[in-house]
Amino acid sequence: MDLDYPLYAVSGLHQAQTSACIASSEDYAICRRIMLRASKNYSTASKYLPADKRRHIEALYALMRVGDDRVDVSHTGFSSPSEAIDDWEATYWQAFDQGSSSHPVMRAYLDTAIKFGIPSETMAIYFRANARRPDHHAFPHFCRPAALHGWQLLPGGTSNDVHFGYPPRYIDR
């Protein structure tokens, strides 16, 4: 995969962060509130997950919800949705670079990524897809990457597994 971003080894971060707590219980509570407010479906479905994994799913959801909202809902404080999502992406890469963040959602996600060995480059597709959204001309090309970013985070999930119920020949036109 050709990325325009530096790749940060989560395992290296994990070793450096083993004695330090990156995210607080309040950081995770903020993620939970974001998910509860934004999606009744995900909130209800997550209740069926093991309790020890639930806050990590909420952190993943909140990371993407904050980015999506910057593009779709409000980019207050930024000149455009593009600038807002670029800032969120910069915050993401900075968190992996520094092993911490000033943003509670980013701290919770970073903590989750380290705990589960999620490589930093996993979310690159998410940021690329969001960067295309403000002009809405890339919508057909956005649909598939947007669905993939969640799927690829699942153990064993790959882009080849997601076809929305259609054979691949109908998707890649």
What CATH superfamily is the domain 11-140? Answer: Farnesyl Diphosphate Synthase (1.10.600.10)
Domain boundary assignment for the chain: 11-140
How does pLDDT run across 96-155, given as a tens digit for each residue?
999 999 999 999 999 999 999 999 999 998 888 887 764 544 444 444 444 444 444 444
d(CA 84, CA 73): 11
Q: Write out pLDDT tens, residues 24-67.
A: 999 999 999 999 999 888 888 888 888 889 999 999 999 999 99
Concatenating the DSSP letter of every residue in 8-70 gives --HHHHHHHHTTS--S-HHHHHHHHHHHHHH-HHHHHHHTTS-HHHHHHHHHHHHHHHHHHHH
Using CA atoms, how far apart are residues 151 and 77, in angstroms rounded to an integer?
31
Helix H segments across 104-153? 104-116, 124-132, 139-151
**Global pTM value:** 0.69
